[in-house]
Structure 1
């Protein structure tokens, strides 16, 4: 067929080149051009003025012009000594439209069409259109859609143009009706098909799509089948044949595979050959199969990867380790040889950054642990990638290596990133069940002018709070990574106006702090800071009596009033020092999938403060990928607070506080539990000790005493029906969370859904802790980085409660919009 096509083409070219006597070309004239310039044609023409043109030369010229694909017909003639070229231009594509494609995105289709020259503005070639049709059908076949139809329609337009309309009818995916594995005796069908992506229709197929046939899925399943046997000793296992049958309606598929199990083999010996580079004993420690072990392909692959990894860490970037098993079928043993080819030891010539249109190269380069001019190190490259991902500036980070042309011992690294917004100018409206409506305005930038510095200036107002704050952080004050930060803020709050039964009091807080951050290893840093604050606390409210006189009354629990009276101050001045340590091994910024965080911090109100106290907070969490997109997350937190070195100088009338008694932990620094980000299923900050507002006369002494809540949480004789949460000086919280892979949430950096179990509570002090009072809840949670700001929706069910919790339980919780 190829020979016939060649003869036809040769005959066609001969006909288009009219026979003439050779002559010297004095000029060249081109007839038939309308869209293409004469200069473009002359650039492709292998004939110039002054050349001697023969019949063979004319045929070569015609071939050259045909190969440009600009023309559907080319003829060469002669007028005297003038070479005359007559052409018929191919039409240009004025419009290209696609209809009916759902399974393949239009942008992916157009990209593929453009690669073969079928795009708006290109020259139209009917053969290209035919190839496109065949390729689209093939792609849909690979997706299991065997009744697809692809119909291209070409419409002629004026000025030698065409409009192409490709109509696609995808049809339905062929469903797998039957899968038969023939020849398996050692394991059941259920065992060997456990990891298959292909399956017959079942109650979960609507979600997993496992009953939709795909050639790629079947190939992967057969590879898993082979791995299943070879990981269990069947070294000579093989798939003899595979047959896929499609029903006449092209909607049903039947799969059959015949296998030969063979025998179980054991390892008779393991050898290391080739250029070992490292001591043989050291390399043998990286081999996970030994003499006498059952043959295991997975362990062999892990061994080869471990050896390649150790070689890559010392510069052998292209090392190869080839396992060569020698089977003795009589003894059913395998003599295993790992042949090592380290190749040349290479060093990194240059590190090139691509895609960082906003972020400066220096900001990225300072996160690189693979340096230019040093030996190639895969662990250093892997660590560099993680550090870049954790900056939060990039959606994706990829690092590629390539040999420098003409060398064998130099590579260039290309760091390709896709930037994402690292800042915002926001005027927003948010809502939470705890804070009510939140109005906010802010300017924030985590990568200010591409320098890596971060700052935030913001203001917000909610039902109970008004705040203004500003912060700045330079993570690289020095080249060694010492960072410096500043925070200044003002917050005025009336906790009695919250949408939960929070303990009532007003606070007006002004604060300023500065801190330094010191890296002490790749994963550890220490933060130390100093701050000053002034907090005015008001526990009373004013009202007009029946005679129009201004009266004051306590609207806070009596225990808070007595504490403030015994303290003798309404404005609390604090000098505080903070010290913290972080150990961070997470692999991402927004949505980690592996690694964890361990943090320990203390906040100390220094001598000279109105109240001297310290708070210690600790947290440890970790992420584990457990396969098929599932990620397990476990977190534990503890908080502890205590005062030191001070006593009260005032005796309260009811005798709760006495002069000379040690000052207890300040209520405005208490830990709280419960809420959207805590023990879900309970209102924000409502777990822990609760107190009633108002007093009642002691029946014996007649003194006014605080009202004790009833077991159901109500307050008899109080101005408020229910007891108010006060928080405490000790808190514990534990969370186990399973992040779920959902087909409609492909980008985990945008949204994640999880099933959680929360355990926690707040206590008056450490001595009050008892595991019996820990609250437990479970449910589902959605975290979404929405355009309006972070959105959290929880559906939670309390599993363990106390009698007085009923008023504070909350099944559905949500919050959206940024808060400051």
Structure 2
């Protein structure tokens, strides 16, 4: 067809160019123009005044004007020495309408049409419209929609314009009726197809859409099939044929793949050849397949990638490692060669940032671990990308490299970012069983004026507390990453509206801190703060021991100078949905001399994620908190168990608490640990709770949790790969075991008193904020816990 069209065009050009004999052009006149300027025609016309116009030159001129696609007809005529160019302009597209497209987004479709010249304002070309029609049909076929129809309609308007309407009737996706693997003997169909994206209709198909045929999905599944066998030693495995048949109604697909399994091969030897650059022993450590191992393509590819990665970290950005397996079919062995081609060692000439319309270049540059003028380092670039993503004000970060034109040893690195809003004005509502309804309002900016500084102001109110906060942080007080921050807080709390002991606090505090990086993964925090906390207790409602503590101390308002030292190491690969890495932290707060009570609190945590295969992820977490007074501070008066002159005990308002949806699940928030009754008996002694936790034997009067100065918590959790939760960044399901408790102090610790529960949990990044739901059953508890056990627990809505 293309040859016929070419011949027709050639004949037409000849006919239109034979109306004159060769002559010298003294002038050129253009006729027939309406939208296109004469200057545009002159630019494309390969004929100038003074040229001799031959038949061949005329044909070239006509061809050049046709190729602009501006004209539907071009003729050349002669009037004496004047060349007359008569043209008929193609119409302009005044309006382009798309109807019926659901599977392909309109923005994506219009973008694709524009790339081939079919968009409003462009010149209309019928051939382009035909190509669009065929391409759309092909794309829908690839999506399994064989009933699709694409009908373009062209309406001619005045002033040489057209309106183009493309009507699409997508039809239904063809469903996979049968999917058969023929020739497999070593493995059954279920095992082979376990990771396939394509499947016949099943009870989850409404969600996974795995029964909808797609050419791309089938191609990917066949690649998985080949990898399945070659990762298990079948080095000569082959897919002999693939047959896809569609039913006459174009609604059902029948797929059959014939395979030749071959035999299992072992590795007879592994060679490293080529220009190794590094000592062979160093590279050998990155080879994951060895003599005597069963052939494994994944291990070979992993070895190649590891060697390329190491070379890329020392400047060889374009290194190649080619695996060359030599099969001995009689011995069923593979002689494997990894051929290394490092290429030129390159260094980075320039780092360019694109897309940061609000953020200053310096904010991005200070996160880069690759430097200009130094050798290319892939690991440094990967770390730079993670650091930029962790900033929170970039939706997307891409880093690319390009060879500097005319060189072989220089690259420019381009960092492309897509900014997202780093500020917010929020009015929110949340709920937790612990806090009740939570109302909040806040204004925050994590990238103040594009400097990378952050600040926030917020207010929050729940059933038991009112909180107002303000903060500011400059992450780069110095060039080496030392940051400085300030926090101010006012909190009024009525613990009587919770499961805490019945008392109230009114806290005002201000603090400043320095963040000092140690490595890319760890930092320390140094802080100094001032606080004033008024504690109000009530006779008959607050446990008597707490009232006696304040009386013996002689103060009802606590003043404290607080010093803070913290250390943090974070190697997680994601904040929300980590699958590897972990977090280790230790934080100590010290109420310095001159405070109402001199004490210190130490809290440590260590956790880690391990992928354990099949999409399962193991998570282990351990936490320990301990608090104690120091110095020679003593009580002023004798009240209850507190004697004048005795050393002051740890203040109860700084106690640790345990239990809840983020702690030992299955127990109500903050209810684990020591519990005390309110009031005194007839002899003036504090009322004691019985084994069931009742005060005065009353079912309606339970002992109040008061927390303690020592806490332990451990969690073992396995995240599950569920087919209907493919995006773990949105939702995750896990099974867990929690163990922990709170004790009066370190000396009171008894392993037999540890509480434990097991259950299942859902974490969901809902539009209203993080949602956590757990169903837990305590399997290690005591009779006095029964009132505080809670099987289903949940919390949602952001808190700050």
Is this a same-fold pair by TM over 0.5?
yes
CA distance in 2, matches of 1:100, 1:735: 52
User: Using a 3 Å threshold, how does the CA distance of structure 1 residues 563 and 720 change in structure 2: closer, same or farther?
Assistant: farther
CA distance in 2, matches of 1:136, 1:799: 58
Greater mean deviation of Cα atoms: 621-630 or 105-114: 621-630
1:590 deviates by 5.1
Aligned to 2:153: 153
User: Using a 3 Å threshold, how does the CA distance of structure 1 residues 267 and 428 change in structure 2: closer, same or farther?
Assistant: closer
For residues 264-663 of structure 1, the aligned pairs below 5 Å read 264-496=264-496, 498=497, 500-540=498-538, 553=539, 555-589=541-575, 591-624=577-610, 633-646=619-632, 648-650=634-636, 652=638, 655-663=640-648
CA distance in 2, matches of 1:197, 1:785: 27
1:19 deviates by 0.2
Unpaired runs of 5+ in structure 1?
Answer: 541-552, 698-702
Does structure 1 residue 796 correspond to structure 2 residue 794?
no
Aligned to 1:704: 684
Greater mean deviation of Cα atoms: 135-144 or 284-293: 284-293
1:191 deviates by 2.9
User: Using a 3 Å threshold, how does the CA distance of structure 1 residues 21 and 168 change in structure 2: closer, same or farther?
Assistant: same
Aligned to 1:815: 796
1:94 deviates by 2.1
User: Using a 3 Å threshold, how does the CA distance of structure 1 residues 717 and 536 change in structure 2: closer, same or farther?
Assistant: farther
1:130 deviates by 1.3
Query: Partner of 1:706: helix, strand, or coil?
Result: coil
User: Using a 3 Å threshold, how does the CA distance of structure 1 residues 744 and 362 change in structure 2: closer, same or farther?
Assistant: farther
Greater mean deviation of Cα atoms: 409-418 or 223-232: 223-232
Equivalent residue in structure 2 for 1:763, among 725, 739, 743? 743
Are the equivalent residues in 1 in contact too, given 2:635–2:647 (CA < 8 A)?
no
Query: When the two structures are aligned, how many residues end up with a matched partner?
Result: 796
Query: Partner of 1:221: helix, strand, or coil?
Result: helix
Query: Partner of 1:696: helix, strand, or coil?
Result: coil
User: Using a 3 Å threshold, how does the CA distance of structure 1 residues 137 and 80 change in structure 2: closer, same or farther?
Assistant: same
User: Using a 3 Å threshold, how does the CA distance of structure 1 residues 810 and 28 change in structure 2: closer, same or farther?
Assistant: farther
1:283 deviates by 2.3
1:172-194 residue CA offsets vs partner (Å, 9 max, x unmatched): 22222222222222333333333
User: Using a 3 Å threshold, how does the CA distance of structure 1 residues 480 and 448 change in structure 2: closer, same or farther?
Assistant: same
1:782-818 residue CA offsets vs partner (Å, 9 max, x unmatched): 44364x6x34252534444554444562635333244
Does structure 1 residue 110 correspond to structure 2 residue 110?
yes
User: Using a 3 Å threshold, how does the CA distance of structure 1 residues 38 and 242 change in structure 2: closer, same or farther?
Assistant: same
CA distance in 2, matches of 1:350, 1:743: 45
User: Using a 3 Å threshold, how does the CA distance of structure 1 residues 174 and 31 change in structure 2: closer, same or farther?
Assistant: same
Aligned to 1:31: 31
Aligned to 1:727: 707
Are the equivalent residues in 1 in contact too, given 2:668–2:788 (CA < 8 A)?
no
Aligned to 1:547: none
Query: Partner of 2:685: helix, strand, or coil?
Result: strand
1:73 deviates by 1.8
1:363-391 residue CA offsets vs partner (Å, 9 max, x unmatched): 22122111111111222222222222222
Does structure 1 residue 752 correspond to structure 2 residue 737?
no
Greater mean deviation of Cα atoms: 317-326 or 448-457: 448-457
1:410 deviates by 1.0
User: Using a 3 Å threshold, how does the CA distance of structure 1 residues 43 and 624 change in structure 2: closer, same or farther?
Assistant: farther
CA distance in 1, matches of 2:364, 2:723: 33
Greater mean deviation of Cα atoms: 256-265 or 713-722: 713-722
Aligned to 1:134: 134
Query: Partner of 1:408: helix, strand, or coil?
Result: coil
1:416-462 residue CA offsets vs partner (Å, 9 max, x unmatched): 22222222233445554444454444332222222222222333344
User: Using a 3 Å threshold, how does the CA distance of structure 1 residues 334 and 467 change in structure 2: closer, same or farther?
Assistant: closer
Greater mean deviation of Cα atoms: 423-432 or 122-131: 423-432
1:610-633 residue CA offsets vs partner (Å, 9 max, x unmatched): 112211111122344567876554
CA distance in 1, matches of 2:78, 2:86: 11
1:125-184 residue CA offsets vs partner (Å, 9 max, x unmatched): 111111111111111211222222222222233332222222222222222222222222
Greater mean deviation of Cα atoms: 139-148 or 581-590: 581-590
CA distance in 1, matches of 2:776, 2:288: 46
Aligned to 2:174: 174
1:651 deviates by 5.3
Are the equivalent residues in 2 in contact too, given 1:389–1:588 (CA < 8 A)?
no
Are the equivalent residues in 2 in contact too, given 1:431–1:817 (CA < 8 A)?
no
CA distance in 2, matches of 1:571, 1:203: 63
User: Using a 3 Å threshold, how does the CA distance of structure 1 residues 350 and 637 change in structure 2: closer, same or farther?
Assistant: same
1:658 deviates by 2.3
Unpaired runs of 5+ in structure 2?
Answer: none
User: Using a 3 Å threshold, how does the CA distance of structure 1 residues 381 and 746 change in structure 2: closer, same or farther?
Assistant: same
Are the equivalent residues in 2 in contact too, given 1:756–1:781 (CA < 8 A)?
no
Aligned to 1:688: 673
Greater mean deviation of Cα atoms: 562-571 or 77-86: 77-86
1:721-765 residue CA offsets vs partner (Å, 9 max, x unmatched): 44333222222334455667789988766x434335362443333
Calculate the aligned-residue CA RMSD, in Å: 2.8
Query: Partner of 1:477: helix, strand, or coil?
Result: coil
Query: Partner of 1:249: helix, strand, or coil?
Result: coil
